[in-house]
Amino acid sequence: MSAHVTVVGLGADGWVSLAEPARALVRSAATLLGGRRHLESVPAVKGQDRVIWPVPLRESLASTLEGRRAPVVALASGDPLLSGIGTTLLDILGAERVTVVPAVSSVALARARMGWPAETTTVISLVGRDTRLLVPALAAGRRLLVLSSDESTPAAVAGLLAEHRWGDSRLVVLGDLGSPTESRVEAVARSWNVTDVPRLNVVAVQVRGTGPGWAAGAVLPDEAFEHTGQITKRDLRASALARLSSAPGQLLWDVGAGSGSIGVEWMRAWPTAHAVAIEPRADRAALVRANAQRHGVPSLEVVQARAPDALRHLRRPDAVFVGGGATTPGVLDGCWAALHTGGRLVVHGVTAETEAVLLERYRRHGGELVRLHVERAEPLGRFTGWSPGRAVSQWSVTKGAS
């Protein structure tokens, strides 16, 4: 079993930023781990083993730590729990085997430089991640602090903002925060042409422009999705999402995903939410992937297979939406059996046969059974009339609820 690990955060100015108690931890370490830059920033200690983080990190970390001489200290940037190695170590070793000694984070320094209180600022990490993760946060007036992967991130952020009609947004790139070489450069997204950007930087974004206003929390219009008609329409989607109740870290199965609109909306609500879209048709599975990319949830998983067989090897969900296929033998039974206690199931049906199935399930498990009718105003000669859509039966239930 690997030893207990103490993670010490360093400021951009390295050793000089550390208080004496943190310095003592580093000096007393028999094994000191970190990136090359971190290890070179602290004084040499006779007899100390110095180990550079392995690549790939997560997959190799446990074996790298195995058998190391104690005490083991790891060096990190700023707050190790802010998109840092501290989070990874906690995931792998558990909280009882990791101690974190943070320094002032780059986020705290960036807020101080910008004069932005914490409660008015949203932090988004793009460290080793897709730039499109910014998309759900884009809304007029928002203040974003973007943790960059490297010197290319500011230009990528500016390009994404311009692409989504937020080109008037103000970008401030804060480089090497807390170091003697700290820098600041400012420009508007649409005219971004800055080339000299430090590798270590945070991008402060004041969102401005005429973008679509598709920030997380708003149910998207139907035209926001690519689809071939197989889509849970906006009003019905809002009703389903209200009952599915997306929550941080929770997993949704979207069975018979079609365009993937339910899974996309679920993940947009919380950055740490997860979703699996189960869709047997290749063309529709491709649409789900495209919509996930477009709306900034690229980690939405797509399983191109048919339920219930596709469900057997998936992680158990916290919520399930069945948009089609409720009459297929084994689908509802598989979903119900997989749900955790307290999990939510929402099923939509438009045929008499599906209604009969939902009525039987409602009698067996309880919950709520409603019929949803939506009518839209459309031209009727010189006047305006109501055009009714197909009625949808919706059964929703919480597993284990009395």
User: In whole angstroms, what is the distance from residue 189 CA to residue 340 CA?
Assistant: 45
The reported pLDDT for the residue numbered 141 is 92
Position 324 scores a pLDDT of: 84
pLDDT in tens, 108-130: 999 999 999 999 999 999 998 99
Residues 143-148 have a mean pLDDT of: 97
- pLDDT confidence band for 2 (50 / 70 / 90): low
Q: What would the pLDDT profile of 276-329 be if each residue is shown by its tens digit? A: 999 999 999 999 999 999 999 999 999 999 999 999 999 999 999 999 889 999
Tell me how many degrees the CA angle 77-83-87 measures, rounded to the nearest 5. 95
pTM, to two decimals: 0.84
Q: For residue range 153-208, what is the model confidence (pLDDT) as tens digits?
A: 999 999 999 999 999 999 999 999 988 899 999 999 999 999 899 999 999 999 99
Structure tokens at 89: 């170590």
Q: Which two tokens stand for residue 194?
A: 């800055």
pLDDT of 102 > 60? The answer is yes
Token duo for residue 121 = 């600022």
Provide mean pLDDT across the span 270-277. Answer: 95
What domains are defined for the chain? 5-104 (3.40.1010.10), 107-206 (3.30.950.10), 222-398 (3.40.50.150)
Q: How far is CA 31 from CA 71, 102, 186, 214, 288, in A?
A: 6, 19, 42, 48, 47
Assigned token pair, 38: 């971190």
Q: Which residue has the tokens 């059996």?
A: 337
State yes or no: pLDDT of 402 exceeds 50. no
Averaged pLDDT score across all residues of the chain: 93
Give tens-digit pLDDT for 24-71. Answer: 999 999 999 999 989 999 999 999 999 999 988 888 988 899 889 999
Residue 42 CA: distances (Å) to CA of 10, 11, 24, 45, 106 = 10, 12, 12, 9, 20
Helices 282-294 and 261-269 sit at what angle, rounded to 10 degrees? 30
Q: Please, what is the angle between helix 57-65 and helix 85-93, to 10°?
A: 60
Alpha helices in 339-374 (DSSP H): 352-365
Q: What's the mean pLDDT in 359-367?
A: 96
- Tokens coding 98: 């990791």
Q: Which residues pair with 12 in a beta bridge?
A: none
Give the largest CA-CA distance in the chain: 90
Phi, psi of 200 (to 5 degrees): -90, 110
**CB count in 10 Å sphere of residue 388:** 9
Non-local CB neighbours of 242 within 8 Å, separated by 6+ positions: none
